[in-house]
């Protein structure tokens, strides 16, 4: 009887899972495994909100595996040590996993492959549509600009049909299980992974979501049935449920990008034949792909600027108080505070508002983008090394295809344009509930008596003065060359 290990990572699903399918073809018994690696360096560490999602997602995956005759074996430790030990004890025919592309995981996986020599470790493409190593320009250099990248990829979509979920997964026989009686290799309970916080702030946050593979499919179906036709018009309106909210499902691999693109395309063979809303939606999924390509090709950009001029950017020196006000949604700028409070309460923030709060942190407060990236990493349920770094570097102007630094979002105008009636601000900043629309995005302009009666802070910084300071700071680096090393 041949035994295979399927190591689940950011692919917490049974459908369209090539590692699982390959193992099923080659092995008679399957150990479905999750290893909680607490040892990963800071960049690999999962933030608090994501840990909560992970806890629930692993529980649901276990349930799905059990319904097919298997179960999830959970271990805590360093996979570089755990996997070879398991492989030896079980005398496995193969170890199977789906690839991740962030530098911390890539480095770790390289070590694991070496340590598993003789046990046939195989890794598969599952979390992206295409292999980053193969997605290069004609001159074999990596893309730094999205539009040509998109034009190149769109002709290749959907890029193959997704794999169906298996009907049955053969569990380990009792005899094989006995070999795992060693304390270190015995499965721990979900609670023993200690993913939930001690002080339970997470319950109201996670209650707003339906986690897991089944929920991801339902969400996609509902979005494609009801919302995608309006996506082009609605996707920038933060008070509207106009986007898919699939990002945490995609991050944890509860659904694959290939499943999404195939479902959107249906029988249509080209992206050009999709409706405009569908086309834009597929393009956004390819932005995610672009982000993963960037960190694969430029691994240092997870925490360092791609544009090397920014290494010398004159950031503010002491910014602890301003950073806390931003994190807590107490800057006195309504659209910023609404976004930061939405983030804390739900583990998610609308894309338009992510861009606005990022611009405010970087350009109005002159706080290094890495601080914002870190806070998002801890508080987002979709926190993703690649998309987060790209989003922050885009806002800073230091990344690939980024907004130029001199384009500073005016949060009042952004609010007036995308939250015209103030619905989003009133939802998240109830102190401003009765402020008239005319002042909802600039309550500091209310008549003094009305202003005084509000329990809401004055603006942390003057928007015009701070914008000017940002432009002056930028002028100190702009003449240097962009990609020195
Ligand atoms: C400063 C900043 C930080 C960000 N951090 C993250 C992050 O940690 N994780 C994350 O998944 N996204 C991040 N984004 C991108 C984007 O905001 C979210 O992917 C999007 O808001 C998720 O909501 P949705 O699923 O409803 O998106 P939809 O509009 O429905 O888009 C569908 C999918 O496309 C992908 N996508 C959409 N926009 C982008 C984008 N700009 N970049 C990359 N992928 C995109 C996502 O996977 C998303 O689920 C960040 C953006 C900014 C500006």
DSSP sequence for 372-399:
HHHHHHHH-TT--HHHHHHHHHHHHT-S
Provide the residue-wise pLDDT of the chain in tens; the chain has 485 residues.
Answer: 899 999 999 999 999 999 999 999 999 999 999 999 877 665 567 899 999 999 999 999 999 999 999 999 999 999 999 999 999 999 999 999 999 999 989 999 999 999 998 898 999 999 999 999 888 999 999 999 999 999 999 999 988 899 999 999 999 999 999 999 887 899 999 999 999 998 778 999 999 999 999 999 999 999 999 999 999 999 999 999 999 999 999 999 999 999 999 999 998 989 999 999 999 999 999 999 999 999 999 999 999 999 999 999 999 999 999 999 999 999 999 999 999 999 999 999 999 999 999 999 999 999 999 999 999 999 999 999 999 999 999 999 999 888 788 889 999 999 999 999 999 999 999 999 999 999 999 999 999 999 999 999 999 999 999 999 999 999 998 766 665 54
Closest residue to atom 2 of ligand 1, CA basis = 391
pLDDT on residue 146: 95
pLDDT on residue 485: 43
- The number of the ligand 1 atom at minimal distance from the alpha carbon of 392 is 1
- The number of the ligand 1 atom at minimal distance from the alpha carbon of 358 is 1
Closest residue to atom 51 of ligand 1, CA basis = 391
Query: Is the Cα dihedral 231, 47, 393, 317 positive or negative?
Result: positive
Closest residue to atom 37 of ligand 1, CA basis = 284
Q: Residue ranges per domain, the chain?
A: 1-126, 128-163+213-297, 308-475
Q: 455 vs 170, 298, 342, 440, 445, CA distance in Å?
A: 61, 46, 19, 14, 15
Single out the residue of 465, 343, 358, 374 nearest to residue 411, CA to CA.
358
| Rounded CA separation 31/57 (Å) | 18
* CA 354 to ligand 1 centroid distance, Å: 9
pLDDT on residue 477: 86
Determine whether domain 308-475 maps to CATH 1.10.579.10: yes
Sheet holding 3-8: strands in order across? 72-76, 29-36, 3-8, 94-98, 121-124
Residues 6+ apart with CB under 8 A from 247: 348, 382, 384, 387
Cis geometry, peptide bond prior to residue 267 (ω within 30 degrees of 0): no
Closest residue to atom 5 of ligand 1, CA basis = 388
With a 6 A CB cut-off, is 237 part of the ligand 1 pocket?
Answer: no
Using a 10 angstrom Cβ sphere, with 0-12 exposed, 13-18 middle and 19 or more buried, the burial of residue 473 is middle
* CA 274 to ligand 1 centroid distance, Å: 21
With a 6 A CB cut-off, is 293 part of the ligand 1 pocket?
Answer: no
Closest residue to atom 21 of ligand 1, CA basis = 351
Q: Which fold has domain 128-163+213-297?
A: 1.25.40
Instruction: Say if strands 29-36 and 72-76 run parallel, antiparallel, or are unpaired.
Output: parallel
| Rounded CA separation 451/446 (Å) | 5
| Rounded CA separation 27/211 (Å) | 30
| Rounded CA separation 193/36 (Å) | 7
* CA 351 to ligand 1 centroid distance, Å: 6
* CA 455 to ligand 1 centroid distance, Å: 33
pLDDT on residue 323: 98
With a 6 A CB cut-off, is 102 part of the ligand 1 pocket?
Answer: no
Closest residue to atom 19 of ligand 1, CA basis = 247
Single out the residue of 263, 259, 241 nearest to residue 250, CA to CA.
259
Single out the residue of 322, 363, 333, 324 nearest to residue 428, CA to CA.
333
3-class secondary structure, 318: coil
- The number of the ligand 1 atom at minimal distance from the alpha carbon of 235 is 29
What is the separation of C-alpha 255 from the centre of its chain, rounded to a whole number of angstroms?
Answer: 13
* CA 292 to ligand 1 centroid distance, Å: 12
Determine whether domain 1-126 maps to CATH 3.40.50.620: yes
Active-site amino acid positions: 284, 287, 315, 351, 369, 392
With a 6 A CB cut-off, is 416 part of the ligand 1 pocket?
Answer: no
SS3 letters for 151-162?
Answer: HHHHCCCCCCCC
């Amino acid at each position: 009887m041949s035994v295979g290990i399927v190591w689940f990572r950011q692919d917490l699903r049974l459908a369209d899972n090539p590692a699982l399918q390959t193992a099923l073809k080659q092995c008679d018994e399957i150990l479905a495994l999750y290893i909680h690696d607490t040892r990963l360096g800071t960049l690999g560490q999962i933030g608090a909100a994501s840990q909560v999602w992970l806890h629930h997602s692993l529980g649901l995956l276990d349930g799905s595996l059990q319904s097919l005759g298997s179960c999830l074996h959970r271990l805590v430790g360093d996979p570089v040590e755990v996997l070879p030990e398991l492989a030896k004890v079980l005398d496995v025919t193969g170890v199977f996993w789906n690839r991740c592309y962030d530098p911390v995981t890539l480095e770790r996986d390289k070590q694991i492959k070496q340590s598993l020599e003789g046990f046939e470790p195989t890794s598969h493409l599952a979390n992206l549509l295409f292999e980053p190593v193969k997605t290069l320009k004609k001159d074999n250099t990596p893309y730094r600009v999205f539009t040509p990248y998109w034009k190149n990829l769109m002709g290749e979509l959907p890029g193959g049909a997704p794999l169906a979920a298996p009907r049955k997964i053969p569990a380990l026989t009792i005899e094989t299980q006995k070999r795992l009686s060693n304390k270190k290799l015995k499965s721990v309970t979900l609670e023993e992974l200690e993913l939930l916080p001690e002080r339970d702030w997470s319950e109201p946050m996670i209650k707003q979501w339906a986690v897991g593979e089944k929920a991801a499919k339902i969400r996609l179906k509902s979005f494609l049935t009801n919302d995608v036709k309006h996506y082009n018009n609605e996707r920038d309106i933060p008070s509207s449920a106009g986007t898919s909210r699939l990002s945490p499902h995609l991050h944890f691999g509860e659904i694959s990008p290939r499943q999404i693109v195939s479902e959107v395309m249906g029988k249509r063979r080209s992206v050009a034949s999709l409706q405009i809303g569908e086309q834009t939606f597929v393009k956004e999924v390819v932005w995610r792909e672009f982000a993963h390509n960037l960190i694969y090709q430029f691994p240092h950009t997870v925490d360092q600027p791609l544009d090397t001029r920014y290494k010398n950017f004159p950031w503010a020196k002491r910014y602890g108080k301003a950073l806390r006000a931003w994190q807590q949604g107490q800057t006195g700028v309504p659209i910023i505070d609404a976004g930061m409070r939405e983030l804390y309460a739900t583990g998610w923030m609308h894309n338009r508002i992510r861009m606005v709060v990022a611009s405010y942190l970087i350009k109005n407060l002159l706080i290094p983008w890495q601080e914002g990236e870190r806070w998002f990493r801890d508080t987002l349920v979709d926190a993703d090394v690649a998309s987060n770094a790209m989003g922050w570097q885009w806002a800073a102007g230091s990344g690939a295809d980024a907004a130029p630094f001199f384009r500073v979002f005016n949060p009042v105008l952004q609010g007036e344009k995308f939250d015209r009636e103030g619905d989003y601000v009133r939802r998240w900043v109830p102190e401003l509930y009765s402020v008239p629309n005319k002042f909802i995005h600039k309550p500091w302009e209310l008549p003094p008596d009305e202003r005084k009666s509000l329990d809401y802070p004055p603006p942390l910084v003057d928007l015009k003065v701070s914008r000017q300071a940002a432009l002056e700071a930028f002028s100190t680096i702009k003449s240097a060359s962009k990609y020195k090393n």
